[in-house]
Amino acid sequence: MSSHLLWILYFERVYCMKIILLLLLNIYFLNAQIVIVTNKNTKIENLPKEIVQYLYLAKINKIDTIKLEPILSDDEALHDQFCNTILCKSQSQYNSYWARLVFTGKKSISKKLEWKEIVKKLQDTNTIAYIEKKDLRAEWKIVYEEN
């Protein structure tokens, strides 16, 4: 009786651990690594996180006289993750922030682009975009990478 009970207990523990492990794995895969990329020919090498934040929050639009155009992705999950990890803002905070910029007449909300459009846009120099690291292409270079 007791050994049976023990078995059950053991089995449940293992199962639970498996579920937790699976969940963790899942999260790991969902939170794919985000990188900020630009065209290889852009004269920017590395950007600190703050500068990336400033660029995406429209606080600045150029670095050392090089004008940079931030590109948004229409991938909800990626965008959400980008907001959370790089801009350190929740999606609603990000939206409120941009709403404020719009209504006080400072900056318009940029269009969110499909993958194809992003690729096309990145053919131009002086554009930056956030992508999953796995989607990195040879003609691009990483200017910022979240560790």
Partner 1 sequence: MKKIKRILFYYHSLSILKKFLLALLFGVILVLPFYNFIFLSMLEMKHSVNSVNSELIPLYEVSCDNILLLENIVSEINSAVSSKEIEWIETSNKHAEKIRKNLNNHLNSNYAKEIQESIIAFDNYYETVKKVSKKIIKNNYFYHDIENDTKTLIQDYNKISMLLKNLKSKTKNDIEKNIDLIYENTNFVLLKGSYIFFIWFFTSTLIIYLVYKDIKYRIKRIVEDSKDIARGDVDFEKRLCIVSYDELGQIVRSLNIFINKLHKKHEELLEAKKELDTLYITDRLTNVYNRVKIDEIIDIACKKKETFSVILIDIDHFKLVNDTYGHLVGDSILKEFATILKESARDTDFIGRWGGEEFIVVCTQTSKEDDISLAEHLRAKIQDFYFTRVGKKTASFGVAASRENDDAESIIDNADKALYRAKHSGRNQVVCYK
Task: Give me the residues that bind partner 1 (CB under 8 A), please.
Answer: 74, 92, 95-96, 98-100, 102-112
Taking alpha carbons only, the member of 42, 68, 45, 52 closest to residue 123 is 42
- Closest distance to partner 1 from the beta carbon of 109 (Å): 5
Closest to partner 1 by CB, 54 or 98: 98
Q: In angstroms, how far is the first alpha carbon of the chain from the final one? A: 51
CB 70 within 8 A of CB 110: yes
The alpha carbon torsion through 87, 89, 94, 98 (nearest 10 deg) reads -60
Q: At 31, which amino acid appears? A: N
Strand, helix or coil for residue 32:
coil
- Closest distance to partner 1 from the beta carbon of 117 (Å): 12
